[in-house]
Amino acid sequence: MQLNPEILVGDNSLSAEMIDNAYEIRTDNIISKTQPAVSENSSILDSLLNDYKNQLAGKTALHAGYPYNLSFSYEKLSPFFEFAINNLGDPFVASNYKIDSRYFEQEALAFFAELYQMQEWWGYITTCGTEGNLYGLLLGRETYPDGILYASNDSHYSIAKAARFFKIPHVVVNSQPNGEMDYVDFLSRLDSSRPAIINLNVGTTLKGAVDDLEQILEMLERKRIKNFYIHCDGALGGMLLPYLAPGKINFNGPIHSLAISGHKFIGCPFPCGIVLTHKKLVDKLATNIEYIGSKDTTLGGSRNGHAPLFLWYAIQQRKHLFQLEAETCASKATDLRERLERVGISCLLNSYSSTVVFPKPSNTVVEKWQLSTQGDLAHVVVMQNHSDELLERFVADYLESHYDNTPDSF
């Protein structure tokens, strides 16, 4: 079965000319152009916005470095920008402010809960994956106030941020060369006298590696640690794993919270995400707040009410396609790896991942394709909006660029 490019590209389809011009588009200082009297002259405003739109289209056409699905179509939802939708407070407890999207929030969350086989769950739609990680780890600390946070060296920086914000003692565990946790190092660092709060990566940022729940549980068992809390960071991979390896990680196992970004695999014009956990863990935390008429269970007070509507809408449109989308991203990533390897470039592509890691190319290529880099490595995160032709163009650019083909990091 082939994906219909119409579905994937939607209204974001770009002319060849736009793609060609993407790198040349001017990045003048918009503010200085508007001065002194933009509001008095709507044609200046129009042309300025039009310029900006073209810039965005160009940059969207040549993007390969971050895990964002840039193809989506939400035109049907534009009428809702006329409303100040705010899910102030708990998603399940109506607030006195009635211009909300709680129904859509609950429905969207129910989709993720079913995907991860949760029974008695609670969750909310966050501003991003980072907020989900902060929330999950805060809940870990509330569950085990004397716990120690263990997270691999390849974990996203939001994990260390959570440790800092919430004053959780933080032990950094070595990673293996492929980015997965080093379980032997984990065992050696585990303190058997204190509860363990563990960040389990469902797809690391740079290498897309998935930590092995079974091995983590085995190490906890060996140290006879019965009190533990496992938070799963599935920013992108949380939407790949259930389709590429059904049942590998879900709430039938001893995990306690899960964070996924909404703007990554699903795709959304603004950042958003979800966090899910067991209902009984949150019940302990909830405080009734008279001012909002709801419960204070979320990190933020005011919460973006459009995000639930957008996620819900994407889920309704595409949930029957998610499996195919995940498989297609993974197979395009395999093709990319093979193309690069055929011309002698060493690459890494982990299981259940669409992240192809390779030696960092020249700065020109890094800039042009908006690659994220770390030391001597860079990656392409293959997403739904990447056509074969586009990836071919990337390989051509890469080959013209200067790179050191002997990275020492994988």
Point out the residues that are catalytic.
Answer: 353
Show contacts with ligand PLP in window 60-89 (CB under 6 A): 67
In the list 200, 235, 255, 311, the residue contacting ligand PLP (rule: CB under 6 A) is 235
Q: How far is CA 305 from CA 25, 89, 233, 279, 289, in A?
A: 34, 11, 23, 22, 19
Q: Least distance from C-beta 71 to ligand PLP, angstroms?
A: 18
Q: How far is CA 15 from CA 6, 64, 302, in A?
A: 14, 18, 39
**Cα–Cα distance for residue pair 139/198, rounded to 1 Å:** 12
90 binds ligand PLP (CB under 6 A): no
179 binds ligand PLP (CB under 6 A): no
**Cα–Cα distance for residue pair 144/235, rounded to 1 Å:** 24
Strand partners, 124: 275
In terms of CB distance, is 91 or 271 closer to ligand PLP? 271
In terms of CB distance, is 91 or 273 closer to ligand PLP? 273
**Cα–Cα distance for residue pair 376/393, rounded to 1 Å:** 22
**Cα–Cα distance for residue pair 374/394, rounded to 1 Å:** 19
294 binds ligand PLP (CB under 6 A): no
Q: Least distance from C-beta 402 to ligand PLP, angstroms?
A: 27
- Residue whose beta carbon is closest to ligand PLP: 129
> Packing angle between helix 102-115 and helix 306-318, nearest 10 degrees?
50
204 binds ligand PLP (CB under 6 A): yes
Q: Least distance from C-beta 203 to ligand PLP, angstroms?
A: 6
Q: Least distance from C-beta 303 to ligand PLP, angstroms?
A: 15
| Structure token pair of residue 52 | 């900006």
Question: Could you tell me whether strands 348-349 and 355-359 are parallel, antiparallel, or unpaired per DSSP bridges?
Answer: antiparallel
In terms of CB distance, is 261 or 294 closer to ligand PLP? 261
Q: Least distance from C-beta 125 to ligand PLP, angstroms?
A: 12
199 binds ligand PLP (CB under 6 A): no
**Cα–Cα distance for residue pair 194/145, rounded to 1 Å:** 10
Q: Least distance from C-beta 128 to ligand PLP, angstroms?
A: 3
Q: Which of 212, 198, 175, 186 is closest to 351 using CA atoms? A: 212
Show contacts with ligand PLP in window 122-161 (CB under 6 A): 128-130, 133, 156, 158
306 binds ligand PLP (CB under 6 A): no
In the list 140, 238, 273, 308, the residue contacting ligand PLP (rule: CB under 6 A) is 273
271 binds ligand PLP (CB under 6 A): yes
In terms of CB distance, is 118 or 268 closer to ligand PLP? 268
In terms of CB distance, is 128 or 213 closer to ligand PLP? 128
For 213, the 3-state DSSP assignment is helix
User: Which residue is it, tokens 């060369």?
Assistant: 177
Residues 6+ apart with CB under 8 A from 48: 30, 33, 34, 38
Show contacts with ligand PLP in window 331-370 (CB under 6 A): none
Interface residues with ligand PLP (CB under 6 A)?
Answer: 67, 128-130, 133, 156, 158, 203-205, 233, 235, 261, 271, 273
